[in-house]
A = this chain, B = another copy of it.
Amino acid sequence: MSENGRPTATIRRVAEAAGVSRATVSRVMNGRSTVAPELAARVLEAARALDYAPSPVARSLALGRTATIALIVPDLANPMFQDVLRGLSQAAGEDGHRLIVAESNENVANEEVLAVEARRRCDGIVLASPRLPTEDLERLAPLLSPLVLINRKLPGTGVPSLSVDHGAGIGDLVAHLLSLGHRRIAYLSGPSASISNQDRVDALLRLSAEGREFELVQLACGATFENGHAMAGAVVETGATAVVAYNDMVAFGALSGLHELGIPIPGRLSITGFDDIPFARYTTPPLTTAAVPKNVLGHQAWTQLSNQLHNNPTQNQATFRPRLLVRGSTGRAPTP
Q: A53-B120, A252-B282 are in contact. Are A100 and B103 (CB under 8 A)?
A: no
- B99:A65 contact, CB within 8 angstroms: no
Q: Which residues from B are CB-within-8-Å of A319? A: none
**Known A-B contacts A2-B64, A56-B120, A123-B1; A259 and B282 likewise in contact (beta carbons under 8 Å):** no
Taking the complex as formed, is A142 at the interface, i.e. its CB lies under 8 A from any CB of chain B? yes
A122 at the interface (CB under 8 A from B): yes
Interface size on A, residues (CB 8 A): 50
Number of copies of chain A assembled together: 2
Given A120-B56, A282-B256: A1 touches B103 (CB 8 Å cut-off): no
B68 near A89 with CB under 8 A, answer no
Measured between beta carbons, the chain B residues less than 8 angstroms from A53 are 116-117, 120
A→B interface (CB under 8 Å): 1-2, 4-5, 53, 55-58, 60-61, 64-66, 68, 76-77, 82, 85-86, 89-90, 93, 98-103, 105, 116-118, 120-123, 142-143, 145-146, 225, 252-253, 256, 259, 279, 282, 284, 309
Extra contacts, 15 of them, besides A57-B120, A76-B82 (Cβ < 8 A), are A1-B66, A4-B145, A53-B117, A53-B120, A56-B117, A56-B121, A57-B57, A76-B85, A76-B86, A89-B103, A90-B105, A98-B100, A100-B100, A100-B101, A259-B284
